[in-house]
Chains A and B, each alone.
Chain A
Amino acid sequence: MEDLDEIIAEFLVESHENLDQLDSDLVALEQDPTSRQLLGAIFRTIHTIKGTTGFLEFGRLEALTHAGEGLLSKLRDGELRLTPEVTGALLTMIDAIRELLSAIEATGQEGVADHSELIATLTRLQQGGAGAPAGRERPPSAAPPAPPVGEVIVEHGAATGDDVRLAVTAQDVGDPRPIGEILVGQGSTTPGEVSLALEVQAERRSVADGSIRVDVDRLDSLMRLMGELVLTRNHSVAHAAATGDATLVRGAARLNLITTELQEVVLRMRMQPIDTVWNKLPRVVRDLGAACGKSVRLEMEGRETELDKTILEAVKDPLTHLVRNAVDHGIEPPQARLAAGKGEQGLLLLRAFHEDGQVNLQVRDDGGGIDPAVVAAKALERGLVSAEELTRMNERELVNLIFLPGFSTAATVTNVSGRGVGMDVVKSNLERIGGAIDVGSVVGAGTTFHVRIPLTLAIIPALTVLCAGDRYAIPTINLAQLIRLEGGKGQAGIERISGTPVYRLRGKLLPLVYLDRELGVAAPDHEERDTVLIVVLQAEDRRFGLVVDGVLDTQEIVVKPLGSQLEHVPVYAGATILGDGSVALILDVLALAQRAHLAGTGREQVRAAPGDADDDRPPTGPALLVASADRDRQVAIPLERVIRLEEIPAGSVEHVGSRELVQYGEEILPLVRLAGDLGAAGRSDGDALTVVVCSAGGHAVGLVVDAIVDIVEGGLPGRGVPGSAGLLGTAVVQQRITELVDVEQAVREADPQFFDPPAVPARGVP
C-alpha cells in the first residue's frame, strides 16, 4: 500500500505541473488554432493523466479525461476546429481535473463533485465535427521513461534476459564497465547491437523528460559542501606549491580546475527560467480579460532568463499583481481604445533580461497610462506629500508616488485609473529580496513597470576595497563609478562646505564619506595622502563618494549571514569568504549613507535633478573602463573584460625573449604595453605600472596604461579607424576622443602566439 501512496503522490505532482503547462498551451492555441505541435502536446498530457487514473482506479477522473481526450484527438486530427466554446470547455475541464486532484491529495478519494454536465458538453462538442464515433480508443502516444539499455538490447533480441541479468550482477560485484561492454565481453552480443541499443535509448530519453526532481534541501547541503570543498582546495593548492613536488602540484592544479567547474554547475542547479512563473500568466490574463470584457494579447520576451529558485518564488506574487493590474486597470475597454485610435486588442508585454548582473523584468501595457496630475492630487489629499514637495518633482517622480504606503485603498481605485492598488506591498516585497521597482508612464500611450532584482541572493558581484588594512566588499549594484585623484590633485580636488568634504563630479557636488572615519578605524595620516580613491555609490536616491584606501577587484562573492551579535550594527549586509579563506564584511551602502547623513552637518540628500541624464535610466551599452595611455591618449576597455586593476612595481617585470611577464599571485601574467601597441612610444618606466588585468581568450593578460581615468556606462558609437590594429573604433567620452581597445587583437599584436593552445592540453573529467 505504501508503494501505491508513493505512486499517487508522484502522479499528483506531475499532473499539477502538466496542468500548468496546459493552461499556457491552450491559451497559446487560441492564437494559433491549427498548431499541430501544441495540439499534440495537449493531447499527450491529457492522455497521460487518463492512463494513470485508469491504473489507479480513479473512475471520475478517468471518465472526464476520457471525454476531453476524445475532443482533443478530433482537434489534433483536424476533424474539428478550435472555437472559443471548445477552448472554454477544455479550460473548464482542466479546472475540474485540478479540483479532483486536490480532493485526492487531501482525502485520498476523488470526492463527490459531479462533472456529468461537463462530460456531456465535451462529448457534444466532439460530435459537432465530422461525426466520428465518440471516444474511440487512441493509440498511446505518451512517452514512457527511457528504459535501461539492457532492456532495449533484450527487446531487439540481441541478447537474452539471462545474459543481461548476468551482466548486471557482474556490475553489482564491482565490474566498472558499462553493461554493453560486459555483454560484448561475455560474447552475448556484438558491439554493433549495443551502439544501436544506445541510440534507441537516447531517442526515448529525449522524448521523455530528461530531468529528475531533487529536493531543495539537498541542493542546499550540496552548496554547503561545495563551500567546504573550495576551502580545502585552496589549502591543498597552497601547500602543494610549497612542497615543490611536481606531481602534487599537477594534482592540485587539476583539483583547482575541477572544483571551479563543479562550483559553477552547483550554482547553476539552483537556477530556473522565469518561464516557470510566467507560464501561469496567460491563463490569468485570459480569464481576467474575459471578466473585464477586454481583449488582451500577451507577449513574452526572454522566457529562458534564469534566476535563483528562492528569488523566483519571491517575485511570483508581485509579478502576478502587476499583470492583473495592467489588465484590470491599465488596458482600456475596446470602445475606449478604438476611440483613442488604438487597436481593439490591448497588448501586454512581459520582458526579462540580464543586465548589470541583475535580472530585469518589465511589465508593459499600451493602455491609458497614469496621469501624474491625478496621482499628485491624490497624494496631496492623503497627506503623503506636501504641496511644496510636489512642485519640486518631475513627472516620473510624481507617477512613482503610487508606491507610497497608504497611497491607495480600494475606495480610490477608479480615481487614479486603478493603479496603485497594493503597489506599496509589491514594492516592499521586491525590496525584501534586494530588488527595486519603478514605473514610467505616458498618458494615453501606456505604462511600464520595471523591476530589477539580483540574480541570486546567495551570490552577488562585489567590489573589494581596502580600508585601514582590512578588506570590505561593496555590492556592485550600488556602484556607479570609480574616481582616482592622483599626485597632489587628490587633496586639491576635494573642497569643503562647512567642514563637509565634497568633490565636483561633472559639475555636481558629490558628498564624500571617508570609510575609515565612518568605521572608526582611521589612521591619522589620511588627510595627507596624495592619491585619493573615491568609490561613487548610489543607494536609493542618494549618491555619495566613499573614500577608500585601495580598490582591489570585482568578483562574485557568496553572501554569508552575520550572527545576531551584529544586528545592532547596521552598516554590514553580511560577510563573505575571500579567495584566500579570510572573511570580509559586506558593506550595506544605504545604511552607511544614513549613518553618514546623521553624523554630518548640513549634508544634503542628493536627488536626481529633472533632466539629469546621469541619474536616469540605466544606459544600454556596455560599461567601459577609461584609461589614459601615453600621456595624452585616452583608451577605453570593455569593463566586462576587466578582471581587476593592479599597481605593479616596474622592477618586478621580467623579460622572456621579447615578452614582458610579471608574477601575479601564483600565476604568470603577460604584460601588453598598450601605449606602445597603439603606435605610440611607451612611457618611460616609472616606479610603478598601472596594469588593467583583462581576460582574453580564457587567459589573464595585463594591459599597461598610464592611469585609470574613469568608468563610464553607455555604449560607444564605434567608428573604425583605418590602420589601427587592436582598436574597435573611437568615440567621444567626457569630451575627449577615446580609442576603444579590442583586447584580443591588442594581445595578438604584442604576441602572435598568445592564443595558441598549450603543449599539453590536459583536461576533461574521466
Chain B
Amino acid sequence: MSAAQLSTFSVADHQFGVEVTVVQEVIRHQPMTRVPLAPAALAGLINLRGQVITAVDLRRRLGFPDRAADELAMDVIVRTRDGLVSLLVDRIGDVVEVGEEAFEEPPESLQGTIRELIRGAYKLDHALLLSLDVQGAVDLPPAGGSGTSGAGPR
C-alpha cells in the first residue's frame, strides 16, 4: 500500500495531520489584525511577505476552548483553492509517514464540527492522528447576526 506523508500539529491536545504537499511553510506567531463582523473562527489577517492572508483559528473552528492568553499560536500556511490561508495551531509536530492500513473512518459516535472536518484517524503507536480536511476547515460559514448581506456590491 502507498504511504502518505503528513505534517502534524496539535490543537487542544489532539494530533492532526495534513498532507505535506499542501503546507507551504510554518512560521511562529504573527502579529494579527482583527476583523470585526467576521466569523468567530477567523482570527485575523496577517502579513506574509507583502501578501494579506486570512488566519483561521483551528481551536475555534473545531469547537475547542480558546487557548490561554499567554500561549502563542503557530501559523501553518496552507495552500487552498482560494490561495494561501494560515491555520493557527498550538504546536508543530513532525512529518510522519502513515500507511493506508492504519486508517479508519471517524467513529459514529463522534459529533459536532470536528466530525465534519476530519476525514478519519490514523492509528499510530502512541496516539491517534486525525486527518484534517483543509479545504473544509478554511471554508467558514458566514457569521450569524449580520443578516443576509450577500447582496452587497461585488
Chain A residues at the B interface, C-beta cutoff of 8 Å: 224, 227-228, 230-231, 470, 519-521, 560-566, 568-572, 575-577, 581-585, 588, 590-591, 594-595, 598
Interface: B62 (CB within 8 A): no
> Which residues 98-151 in B have Cβ within 8 Å of A in the complex?
138-140, 142-143, 146-147, 149-150
Contacts of A588 in B (CB 8 A): 152-153
Verify if B46 is at the interface (C-beta below 8 Å from A): yes
Closest B-chain residue to A232, C-beta based? Answer: B49
A279 to B152, CA, bound (A): 37
Q: Give the docked Cα–Cα distance between A269 and B143 (Å).
A: 41
- Is B70 an interface residue when CB atoms closer than 8 A count as contact? no
What are the nearest 7 A-B pairs in CB distance? A570-B152, A227-B50, A519-B36, A568-B142, A563-B54, A560-B52, A583-B33
Closest to A575 in B: B52
Out of A224, A564, A569, A575, which one reaches B146, CB within 8 Å? A569
> B50: which of A224, A521, A568 is its contact (CB, 8 Å)?
A224
Q: Which residues of A contact B37 (CB under 8 A)?
A: 519-520, 569, 571
| B50, A569: Cβ atoms closer than 8 Å | no
Residue numbers in B under 8 Å from A520 (CB-CB): 36-37
Chain A residues lying within 8 Å of B83, measured Cβ to Cβ, are 563
Interchain Cβ contacts under 8 Å between A and B, 22 examples? A224-B50, A231-B50, A521-B36, A562-B54, A563-B53, A563-B85, A565-B54, A566-B35, A566-B54, A568-B39, A568-B146, A568-B150, A569-B143, A570-B153, A576-B52, A577-B47, A583-B44, A583-B45, A583-B47, A588-B152, A591-B152, A591-B153
Q: Is B23 an interface residue (CB 8 A)?
A: no
Q: When chains A and B are docked, how far (Å) is the Cα of A583 from the Cα of B49?
A: 11
Apart from A561-B52, A590-B153, list 5 A-B contacts with CB within 8 A: A521-B36, A562-B52, A569-B37, A575-B33, A577-B47
- The residue on A at minimum CB distance from B148 is A568
Complex Cα–Cα for A62 and B38 (A)? 65
CA distance A571 to B36 in the complex (A): 10
Q: Which residues of A contact B147 (CB under 8 A)?
A: 598
Minimum distance in angstroms from A591 CB to a CB of chain B: 5
Q: How far is the CA of A569 from the CA of B46 in the complex (A)?
A: 18
B56 interfacial by beta-carbon distance below 8 Å: yes
Q: How far, in whole Å, are A420 and B53 apart by their CA atoms in the complex?
A: 43
A560 near B51: Cβ-Cβ < 8 Å: yes
Given contacts A230-B50, A571-B37, A582-B47, contact A564 B153 (CB under 8 A): no
Q: What's the Cα separation between A230 and B47 when bound, in Å?
A: 12
Residue in B46, B56, B150, B152 whose beta carbon sits within 8 Å of that of A583 in the complex:
B46
Taking the complex as formed, is B34 at the interface, i.e. its CB lies under 8 A from any CB of chain A?
A: yes
* B109 → chain A closest CB, angstroms: 30
CB-contacts of B7-53 with A (<8 A): 31-39, 42, 44-47, 49-53
User: Interface centre among A568, A576, A598, by most B CB within 10 Å?
Assistant: A568
Q: A231-B47, A583-B46 known; A577 and B52 CB under 8 Å?
A: yes
Task: Please report the total number of B residues contacting A with Cβ < 8 Å.
Answer: 35
B81: shortest Cβ distance to chain A, in Å? Answer: 8
Residues of B in contact with A (beta carbons under 8 Å apart): 31-39, 42, 44-47, 49-54, 56, 82-83, 85, 138-140, 142-143, 146-147, 149-150, 152-153
Chain A residues, CB < 8 A from B45 = 562, 575, 583, 585
Q: How far is the CA of A227 from the CA of B139 in the complex (A)?
A: 28
Provide the bound-state CA to CA distance between A173 and B119, in Å.
58
Bound Cα distance from A658 to B39, whole angstroms = 56
In the complex the two chains form, what is the Cα distance from A302 to B85 in whole Å?
44
Nearest-neighbour CB distance to chain B for A746, whole angstroms, equals: 38
The listed residue (B49, B85, B153) touching A231 by CB distance below 8 A is: B49
* Distance of B78 from chain A, by nearest CB (Å): 12
Give the Cβ gap from A256 to chain B, nearest Cβ, in Å: 17
**Closest CB-CB distance, B61 to chain A, in whole Å?**
11
- Docked pose: A568 CA to B46 CA in angstroms: 19
Provided the pairs A228-B49, A565-B38, A581-B47 are in contact, do residues A470 and B54 lie with their beta carbons within 8 angstroms? no
Distance, CA A598 to CA B51, complexed state (A):
33
Which A residues touch B85, using CB under 8 A? 563, 565
Collect the chain A residues with CB atoms within 8 Å of residue B52's CB: 560-562, 575-577, 583
Question: A546 to nearest B CB, angstroms?
Answer: 14
Known: A470-B34, A582-B33, A585-B35. A594 touches B152 (CB 8 A): yes
Min CB gap A225→B, angstroms: 9
Q: Which residues of A contact B146 (CB under 8 A)?
A: 568-569
In the complex, what distance in Å separates the CA atom of A565 from the CA atom of B82?
9
- Taken together as a complex, chains A and B put the C-alpha atoms of A570 and B38 apart, in Å, by 10
CA distance A618 to B60 in the complex (A): 48
Closest to B46 in A: A583
Q: How far is the CA of A230 from the CA of B82 in the complex (A)?
A: 25
User: Which residue of chain A has the shortest Cβ distance to B138 in the bound complex?
Assistant: A565
Given A230-B50, A582-B33, A582-B47, A565-B140 contact (CB < 8 Å)? yes
Q: How distant is the Cα of A577 from the Cα of B49 in the complex, in angstroms? A: 10
The CA of A571 and the CA of B153, in the complex, are separated in Å by 10
Report chain A residues within 8 Å CB of B143.
568-569
Q: B22: shortest Cβ distance to chain A, in Å?
A: 16
In whole angstroms, what is the CA distance A113 to B4 when docked? 62
Known A565-B38, A577-B47, A591-B152: A585·B33 in contact at CB below 8 Å: yes
Whole-angstrom distance between the alpha carbons of A566 and B140 in the complex? 9
How far, in angstroms, from A230 to B85 measured CA to CA in the complex? 22
Shortest distance between the CB of A223 and any CB in chain B (Å): 10
Residue in B39, B49, B149 whose beta carbon sits within 8 Å of that of A565 in the complex:
B39
Chain A residue with minimal CB distance to B83?
A: A563
A590 to B149, CA, bound (A): 13
Complex Cα spacing A584 to B36, Å:
12
| Inter-subunit contact B35/A569 (CB<8 Å) | yes
Measured in the bound complex, the distance between the Cα atoms of B34 and A519 in whole Å is 11
Contact of A563 among B34, B47, B82 (CB under 8 A): B82
A561 to B53, CA, bound (A): 9
A569 to B144, CA, bound (A): 11
CA distance in complex: A581, B33 (Å): 11
User: A579 CA to B153 CA in the complex, in Å?
Assistant: 29
In the bound complex, CA of A288 to CA of B152 (Å): 40
B6 to chain A, nearest CB (A): 24
Given the interface pairs A224-B50, A583-B33, A583-B47, the reply to whether A569 lies near B82 with Cβ below 8 Å is: no
Per the bound structure, the CA–CA distance linking A470 and B54 in Å amounts to 17
- Cα–Cα distance between A588 and B38 once the two chains are bound (Å): 15
- Taking a contact as CB atoms under 8 Å apart, the answer to whether B82 and A572 are in contact is no
Chain A neighbourhood of B142, CB < 8 A: 568-569
CA distance A583 to B152 in the complex (A): 23
Which of chain B's residues has its CB closest to A223's CB? B50
